[in-house]
Amino acid sequence: MLRRQCLTKAYVGHTRNPERPAKPPAMASTCDGVGVRYACQCGHLAPVSALFFSETCEKLVCRLPGCSVEEFESYYCGNLLVNLPSKEASMYQNRSSRCFSCPCCETALSTAFHESLQRFFFLCAHCRWDSLELGLADDDPDALVMTAITRERQAAHEDVFQALHSHYLTLSSSSSGSNAATALASASGAALGRSSSLQMLADSMKELQREHQMKKFRLQRMAEMGGWKHDQALAKVQEKEQWLLEQRREHQWPELQKQLAALQTQGTSWSEDTPERARGTLEKLAQTSDMGEVSTLHQRLLNPLDQSRRADQLFPSRPLLRVKRTWRCVESIERGSAGILVKPQISPMSGDSSLPVSASWFKKANLAAQYVPVVTFQRLPYYVEGGENVECVVLVENPLDDAIRITFRSDPTADTTENAQVRFGVYSPPFV
């Protein structure tokens, strides 16, 4: 019976089973790379750190989709530590709204003031990169941020990407049989154009709200009219939704053709207006001896819509938003309960040690390490008794106050039988 912690030393010796054929000796690697895995009911083996415990089902739950599901709880910026609504995060393309990262080392940029120029610019405190060589400077810090965001939206591929995304998102919504309100809601995050993107987003949201109000009113009227007019009213609602969807397609297809036609004359990058100039840039890069002047693939992928091949022309990019996830048990959801396994705090600062009020990072966290014994297996780096046996240490930690029983069994399919001497003792932490 085990109550807290127990240290077990095992002197393991191996004897071949005469009923099984002999195999080449592998004594040196018998216990090397041994890891302890816990089994979920689905058959998946995982370490205890990757498992949850469901209090409703009283079982271990792994992270496979058939056993648990994850949901995005909130979006937040890792530098500002403020939450963003999902619609606002989609509008900013899941990136920070005011922070920029260094194109060289990805450190968060700060705003500095140049005394001689009397202008504000971006400065990296780690690698000392600045935005003065790019001409990215302004008289006001807020205007500097808006200038950087405006320049990012004026990339050559921005309009084409947004037009394609909105067009095919509407097509996929219509092919799956969704209504026009769902298509408007999904396409509202992909605004078309540069300067009018926010205005079009606001118009789409207003149109969506009006459609929701009209649909609610029509459903109320159908309930008042009775069942004999229900089919007729429902057909009118579907006809209206189909008309709205066709109107939106007629608006988006000319916009898409316009952006694709403009792409053929604009080139493929911010500073490359024509394909001839792009080929000239490639020829110059082929003759470059210092590879530090060429941007790496990782640096170009930080801003995929504007991939400059020269390191001195890399612009700062907005860092990606971070998310907090909630894990739920699938079997508990099927039973009708919430099935929450892990639920974080909404505020990004909750649980931080710098706050005067102590708090927890999670509202609820049912981790498997808090409910099942944690077993650690380690082979000691030497042999005993003439090199025939190896000494192993098995540390078993019981996180509960209740006593548990642990049974060790050998693998019945193995071709060797263990002849071990096991010594038990209470674990005593080493002194540093």
Is the pLDDT score of 120 beyond 90?
yes
Token representation of residue 86 = 């999902």
Tell which wins on pLDDT, 331 or 384: 331
Write out pLDDT tens, residues 249-274.
Answer: 655 556 556 666 665 555 444 444 56
Average pLDDT, the chain: 74
The three-state DSSP-derived secondary structure of 193-224 is: CCCCHHHHHHHHHHHHHHHHHHHHHHHHHHHH
For the CA atoms of 348, 353, 355, 356, the dihedral, rounded to the nearest 10 degrees, stands at 150
Q: CA-to-CA distance for 296 and 104, rounded, in angstroms? A: 9
Structural domain total, the chain: 3
Q: Is the whole model's pTM more than 0.75, yes or no?
A: no
Residues 199 and 246 in one domain: yes
% of the chain exceeding 70 in pLDDT:
64
Q: Is residue 58 part of a domain?
A: no
Q: CA-to-CA distance for 122 and 241, rounded, in angstroms? A: 48
Q: Please give the pLDDT value at position 240.
A: 72
* From 91-95, 98-102, 184-188, 398-402, the region with the lowest mean pLDDT: 184-188
Sequential DSSP letters for 177-190: T--HHHHHHHHTTS
Residues 256-295: b if buried by 16+ CB within 10 A, e if exposed: beebeeeeeebbebbebeeeeebeebeeeeeeeeeeeeeb
Q: Is residue 288 part of a domain?
A: no
Residues 227 and 307 in one domain: no
Q: Please give the pLDDT value at position 273.
A: 53
Q: Are 375 and 395 in contact (CB under 8 A)?
A: yes
Residues 186 and 257 in one domain: yes
Tell which wins on pLDDT, 133 or 193: 133
Which residue has tokens 């408007």?
Answer: 184
Residues 245 and 163 in one domain: yes
Is the pLDDT score of 276 beyond 90?
no
Q: Which of 2-11, 32-41, 222-231 has the highest mean pLDDT?
A: 32-41
Q: Is residue 171 part of a domain?
A: yes
Q: Is residue 391 part of a domain?
A: yes
Q: Please give the pLDDT value at position 326.
A: 92
Residue 148 lies in domain: 91-156+301-313
Q: Is residue 67 part of a domain?
A: no
Residues 245 and 203 in one domain: yes
Position 60 confidence tier, pLDDT thresholds 50, 70, 90 = very high
Q: Please give the pLDDT value at position 200.
A: 52
Q: Is residue 240 part of a domain?
A: yes
Please name which of 104, 154, 103 lies closest in space to residue 269, comparing C-alpha atoms.
154
Q: Are 312 and 131 in contact (CB under 8 A)?
A: no
Residues 150 and 103 in one domain: yes
Q: Is residue 241 part of a domain?
A: yes
Domain boundary among 313, 333, 348: 313
Tell which wins on pLDDT, 383 or 186: 383
Residues 183 and 262 in one domain: yes
Q: Is residue 329 part of a domain?
A: no
Residues 251 and 164 in one domain: yes
Q: CA-to-CA distance for 387 and 21, rounded, in angstroms? A: 24
Q: Please give the pLDDT value at position 278.
A: 72
Sequential DSSP letters for 307-350: --SBGGGPPPBPPBPEEEEEEEEHHHHHTTS--EEEEE-SSTTT
Q: Please give the pLDDT value at position 195.
A: 37
- Diameter over CA atoms, the chain: 94
